[in-house]
Structure 1
Amino acid sequence: MARRGAWSKMPPSPPETADASLPDAPAPHWTGHRARLRARFREAGPAALADYELLEILLFRAIPRRDVKPIAKALIVRFGTLAGVIAAPVEDLMAIEGVSDGVAIDLKLAQAIGERAARQELCQRTVISSWAQLLSYCRLSLAHEAREQFRVLFLDRKNQLIADELMGRGTVDHAPVYPREIAARALALAASAVILVHNHPSGDPNPSRADIDITREIAKALAVLDIAVHDHLVVGRQGVASFRSLNLL
């Protein structure tokens, strides 16, 4: 049994390490960085920030208590560009250290918001007279897709967008497309014209022989219904090729 007064003679406990959650603890180094980055964005705009810095701001909410700069830089290194990051599949994003399911979903949300905003902007205008917006929308939607997709933009008599629908999804170099299905859908939507759009995951937008052949088959099927094919756009990371501009349609 301890003698009376023994407790008072025991050596003092070692001091506790600083806890960032305590009011008097020094703030982590990255808190000041976050404030400065937000201030630059607010005062100078997004053009003043590098791609990885924009990603950092996006990651602040999803990862509130960690330095996110290494994560943002790792994402850019892995996927090449900011557009490549938000277009990447969730499972590929989560392969990066520090990217949880919640973080990956936030990144995909940024992509979804951008695509929807571009589509809404396109819907408010005549597509043919808003070619720059159309190309921007197509690049945003398809340039970084890992698998080939074949989409059809259905237009009304005023060349305004009725619907943008996925008509085929395939492998890295092929997406099955059926002209009769496109014709049937055009009739159901009462479309007067269409613009065909598909991507080349290789990055090269130059049309292949198979692209040319399927375009002619679709145009033939729609011509019977008096529905025009205004263009076929092939989207790649290197740009967008237009069948109309290449005299292939």
Structure 2
Amino acid sequence: MDEANHHRGHRQRVKDRYLREGLDHFKDHELLEFLLFYCVPQKDTKGMAYKLLDTFGSLHGVLEAPPEILMEKGGLTQNMAIFLSALPAMGRRYMESRWGDRPRLDSYHKAGQFAVTLMMGRPYEVFYVVCLDAQNRLIHADLIHKGTVDQSPVYPRTVVEAALSHHAVSVILAHNHPGGTLNPSVADVHVTDVIRRALKPISINVLDHIVVAGDQFFSFAKEHLLEDNIVSEPVPEYYKG
């Protein structure tokens, strides 16, 4: 059997395995090998999969790498790099779609889980203003800033503009800590207070600030870090549990 037929037969066996059992039992290198089938014609992709895992350390390291880094360090073509780097964003869009068009974020648990969805597959810090109507239903989750791996400066004016442009009655602030530290920083507490003060004159309430690390989240409201706001302007049933 020549090399081309060997690769063709191997690919079909892998595809047949997927059709029988899905991807649950695929090892990381097998999954990468399988994915690369669809942008690498008639070539062995197993070696490429092993090289990517060695270079980036893990499956999530590969998928979260920017396209230019996949090309530079992983030796991939532009098509391969675009395909792999788009997968986390596709997964995030899929999870967002499962919430429906206008989910009601009426507890810190729902708000936290929604924020975790927004942050999926993001290796850098991002900041969202989640705009809600009077029934705490989602109007729009506005991505207002993308930062470096550990920094995302946020300006109150940008938050105010986002809230006004979407006619928000209230907002939830949300950002991630890609480094894995769940607790808010001093800067996080400070910017939350500044944003609340900026929104108060236009009668838009900050219901919460969610900090996401991986699949975990920290809620300012749950931990009573918005307590002075709750005392002066009682929050609806939203954050009772």
What TM-score does the superposition give when structure 2 sets the normalisation length? Answer: 0.80
1:182 pairs, out of 156, 159, 177, with 159
In the alignment, which residue of structure 1 is the partner of 2:225? 248
Residues 75/48 of structure 1: CA separation in 2 closer, same or farther (3 Å cut): same
In the alignment, which residue of structure 1 is the partner of 2:12? 35
Aligned-partner Cα distance in 2 for 1:246–1:75: 41
Q: How many residues align?
A: 223
Determine helix, strand or coil for the equivalent of 1:118: helix
AA paired with 1:63?
V
1:116 pairs, out of 79, 84, 93, with 93
Determine helix, strand or coil for the equivalent of 2:82: helix
What TM-score does the superposition give when structure 1 sets the normalisation length? Answer: 0.77
In the alignment, which residue of structure 1 is the partner of 2:33? 56
Aligned-partner Cα distance in 2 for 1:131–1:184: 21
Larger radius of gyration: 1
Determine helix, strand or coil for the equivalent of 1:127: coil
Using CA pairs below 8 Å that are at least 6 residues apart, which structure has the higher relative contact order?
A: 2
In the alignment, which residue of structure 2 is the partner of 1:137? 117
Alignment pair present for 1:75 and 2:52: yes
- Tell which deviates more after alignment, 212-221 or 172-181: 172-181
Q: Which runs of 5+ in 1 are unaligned?
A: 1-17, 22-26
Q: Which runs of 5+ in 2 are unaligned?
A: 227-241
Identical-residue share of aligned pairs (%): 39
Residues 185/202 of structure 1: CA separation in 2 closer, same or farther (3 Å cut): same
Deviations 1:138-182 (A, max 9, x none): 33153x22xx32221212223232222222333343322121221
AA paired with 1:230?
L
Determine helix, strand or coil for the equivalent of 1:117: helix
Over the residues paired in the alignment, what is the CA RMSD in angstroms?
2.5
In the alignment, which residue of structure 2 is the partner of 1:150? 127
CA contact (8 A) 1:154 1:195 kept: yes
Residues 60/161 of structure 1: CA separation in 2 closer, same or farther (3 Å cut): same
Aligned-partner Cα distance in 2 for 1:93–1:60: 17
2:147 pairs, out of 170, 176, 181, with 170
